[in-house]
Structure 1
């Protein structure tokens, strides 16, 4: 069984996350924490394999908790579950080596997919004497939002593409490039490049909204 610690300051949200995890075969929740300090204490005491970590905690920013865990030589993996859509937060999470970044609110299937991917990676036996191909495969990371196999044009980054993808998928309505840029924390021109790439790749649809004057506004929706 993969042992999971849920960290979220909202009791009801933590309860929902616990319920989601326990619906996935091979996973069990061994505890929950509501603060960063409590999370560090419970990781030391319970030794979970995976921590589902909110970033907005009452006493600390979630990624600072990751730093404290690594300083304490804790080897648990971390899956970020947060409402933070800022590109800086996503980049920092990538640098911290988190195994996934899931935006709230999300459906059970979104978490299930990430947990099953994580379990498959944990189960992979690397052996002792590896080829370069096996080493490359071990270091390969699967995007948490952007579908595998979608090559990015030169100048576009995977981290930002995942953030734009998540913003588009999580929006209950269509987004303009300006709205997407504000949600992710990038320029409108950059957001437009990523959005048009998703349209070209067949992952998103675009419609035109006509106003009284000027050019029609391009509105994007994830397929």
Structure 2
């Protein structure tokens, strides 16, 4: 279980954060502290995996606690959960090593994303003896340029692959949605929807061709290099 310390001076917010945290598998809140001094004293004598930290608190605020932790070589991961939107404070928190920053009021979905991201990092760094570039890209949110993006809602992978195959075998390097629609016996509107998706993921390039008569046409070109 991931042992979580919540540092929050508002009792109601603290309980909401506790409820959110413990609704996610493998997370347990072991303590709620109302200020930075209480939190620091607890951290010194107890095992903590993650701190969910507010900034504005009495006695010792969130930034003060974070500085004190780092000065004493306490390298526990911290997620800042606060209403503070001041750029300097946000920048300072990141410089002291917060792994995520949630601005109140936030939705449960965003809170869960922060904890899921932390769990991914925790597992990779605690269950493996060595990591490769793919592992590091996962925990730093860098997507491999060769990874396949998620298919947009309303599109079908089989239809997309049929269109890809048709385009690969098409003799000309450029074509319209009508050209592909005629080949596959599908509607031009359907084909254009898929081809615009392929443009968005950089499988095709879209250009406008202005003729002497009539409306301009959308021309699609294989690849993305001009």
Aligned to 1:110: 110
Aligned to 2:140: 141
| TM-score normalised to structure 2 length | 0.58
Structure 2 matches for 1:87-166, cutoff 5 A? Answer: 87-125=87-125, 127-128=129-130, 133=133, 137=137, 141-142=140-141
Q: How far apart are residue 62 of structure 1 and its match?
A: 0.8
Stretches of structure 2 lacking an aligned partner (at least 5 in a row): 145-199, 201-226
| TM-score normalised to structure 1 length | 0.58
- Stretches of 4+ moved more than 2 A in 1? 125-128, 133-138, 140-143
Report if the CA contact (8 A) 1:81-1:103 is conserved. yes
Q: CA RMSD in A?
A: 2.4
- Larger-gyration structure (1/2): 2
Structure 2 CA distance for aligned equivalents of residues 7 and 91 of structure 1: 20
Report if the CA contact (8 A) 1:47-1:76 is conserved. no
The answer to whether residue 22 in structure 2 is matched with residue 22 in structure 1 is yes
Q: How far apart are residue 136 of structure 1 and its match?
A: 5.9
Structure 1 CA distance for aligned equivalents of residues 86 and 14 of structure 2: 22
Q: How far apart are residue 141 of structure 1 and its match?
A: 3.1
Bigger RCO (CA 8 Å, 6+ sep): 1
Structure 2 CA distance for aligned equivalents of residues 19 and 42 of structure 1: 21
Matched residue of 1:43: which SS? helix
Report if the CA contact (8 A) 1:53-1:81 is conserved. yes
Q: How far apart are residue 45 of structure 1 and its match?
A: 2.3
Aligned to 2:81: 81
Structure 2 CA distance for aligned equivalents of residues 48 and 98 of structure 1: 15
How many pairs align? 143
